[in-house]
């Protein structure tokens, strides 16, 4: 009886998060078509990103249910192999640093490190766990070898969060903290674009971000203020930005996902982007997986959100699909896992050791 009640509760949790995800992703696709119809834009990029996230999420849910340890481990190896074999990830002209493909490389390595850490947190055997932790550390070193300082920083952050997640019993506060981090990074991006920071701090940030990137952000904010309702239309930023037009070759993007949505799809586009991120955190919160796995995936996706706030990483289909894949892996319930009883907390009361070994009695 208890088992049946637990299955019903788990099914209800999954149904609510799945329906929410379908609604949010559907709204993102529909709104891009509406704004494109209003201003003659090109919604293909947004539609492809939505499709990549949905496909990755579905694949992750299936693979995570069948192979809860092997699937994220294989995903981590695949991401590492992809960045080593194809550092630029996509064909086309090389955009001047730091606005080129380096951000996408950092994003894929970050997702790979997160997948390896999730696999380590799910592995029942100490030797397998140790190998997966070593894989995550190796991915971090690969970022250094490839010359991506950002990848090293984000992968180290994911590793530290994964190690600390073993001591966290309640996932709600942890996920709320991750949402706050993403909001702060986005707010700083917006403040730089709007010249709302103190002169000293603004100058220091622009030195790190480069004046060209700051100029793109200001152009995006100016376009957003010109038409806050519908924006200028998806894919039209490059046509209307003086900063983007002054550099060749240019990818025609402001290198900030929130500002690009604001410029091209208005306030509603920004809200839908935020809703997509909140949906992922909501799905993780309601997932039946252990809390360390959930928080590790949440930290990884938050790092990706931070990269998307200051770069164009979501313009790469590989990154969008990888984000959906990791979210699906972290929210899948492995076949044969014992569901929790109705009303039971979804927290994990496991061992706080980062390696997962239980202390001696």
Q: What is the pLDDT of residues 121-168, one digit of tens each?
A: 999 999 999 999 999 999 999 999 988 889 999 999 999 999 999 888
Distance in angstroms (rounded) separating the CA atoms of residues 290 and 62: 18
In a domain, 291, yes or no: yes
CA 90 to mean position of chain CA atoms = 19
- pLDDT > 90: what percent of the chain? 60
DSSP secondary structure string for all residues of 179-203:
HHHHHHHHHHHHHHHTT-S-HHHHH
Domain that holds residue 116: 2-89+97-331
- pLDDT of the residue at 41: 83
In a domain, 268, yes or no: yes
Q: Is the pLDDT assigned to residue 179 strictly greater than 80? A: yes
In a domain, 340, yes or no: no
The confidence band for 344, taking pLDDT boundaries of 50, 70 and 90, is very low
Report whether the peptide linkage leading into residue 298 is cis, meaning its omega lies within 30 degrees of zero. no
Q: Is 119 helix (H, G, I), strand (E, B) or coil?
A: helix
Count of structural domains within the chain: 1
pLDDT winner (highest mean) among 92-96, 209-213, 275-279: 275-279
Whether the model clears a pTM of 0.95, i.e. scores above it, the answer is no
In a domain, 343, yes or no: no
Distance in angstroms (rounded) separating the CA atoms of residues 185 and 182: 5
In a domain, 338, yes or no: no
Distance in angstroms (rounded) separating the CA atoms of residues 360 and 342: 32
The confidence band for 17, taking pLDDT boundaries of 50, 70 and 90, is confident
Q: Is the pLDDT assigned to residue 300 strictly greater than 90? A: yes
In a domain, 32, yes or no: yes
- pLDDT of the residue at 204: 86
Q: For 289, which DSSP code? A: S
Distance in angstroms (rounded) separating the CA atoms of residues 120 and 77: 13
Residue partners of 200: CB distance under 8 A and separation at least 6 = none
- pLDDT of the residue at 210: 83
Q: Is the pLDDT assigned to residue 81 strictly greater than 80? A: yes
In a domain, 336, yes or no: no
In a domain, 174, yes or no: yes
């Amino acid at each position: 009886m208890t088992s049946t009640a637990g299955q019903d509760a788990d099914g209800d949790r999954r149904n609510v998060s799945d329906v929410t995800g379908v609604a949010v992703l559907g709204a993102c696709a529909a709104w891009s078509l509406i704004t494109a119809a209003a201003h003659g834009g090109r919604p293909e990029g947004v539609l492809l990103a939505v499709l990549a996230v949905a496909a990755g999420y579905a694949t992750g849910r299936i693979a995570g249910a069948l192979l809860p340890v092997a699937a994220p481990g294989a995903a981590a190896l695949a991401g590492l192999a992809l960045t080593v074999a194809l550092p630029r990830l996509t064909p086309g002209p090389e955009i001047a640093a730091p606005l080129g493909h380096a951000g996408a490389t950092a994003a894929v390595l970050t997702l790979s490190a997160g997948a390896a850490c999730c696999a380590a947190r799910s592995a029942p055997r100490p030797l397998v766990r140790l190998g997966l932790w070593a894989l995550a550390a190796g991915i971090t070193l690969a970022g250094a070898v490839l010359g991506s300082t950002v990848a090293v920083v984000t992968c180290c952050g994911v590793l530290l969060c994964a190690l600390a997640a073993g001591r966290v019993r309640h996932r709600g506060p942890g996920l709320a903290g991750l949402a706050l981090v993403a909001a702060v990074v986005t707010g700083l991006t917006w403040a730089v674009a709007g010249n709302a920071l103190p002169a000293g701090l603004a100058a220091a940030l622009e030195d790190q971000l480069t004046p060209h990137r700051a100029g793109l952000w200001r152009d995006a904010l100016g376009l957003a203020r010109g038409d806050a309702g519908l924006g200028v239309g998806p894919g039209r930023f490059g046509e209307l930005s003086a900063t983007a037009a002054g550099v060749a070759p240019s990818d025609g993007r402001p290198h900030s996902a929130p500002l690009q949505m604001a410029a091209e799809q208005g306030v509603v586009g920004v809200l839908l982007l935020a809703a997509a991120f909140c949906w992922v955190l909501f799905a993780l919160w309601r997932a039946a997986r252990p809390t360390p796995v959930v928080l590790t995936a949440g930290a990884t996706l938050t790092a990706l959100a931070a990269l998307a706030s200051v770069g164009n990483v979501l313009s790469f289909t590989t990154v969008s699909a990888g984000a959906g894949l990791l979210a699906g892996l972290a929210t899948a319930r492995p076949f044969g896992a014992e569901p929790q009883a109705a009303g039971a907390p979804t927290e994990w009361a496991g061992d706080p050791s980062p390696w997962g070994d239980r202390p001696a009695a």
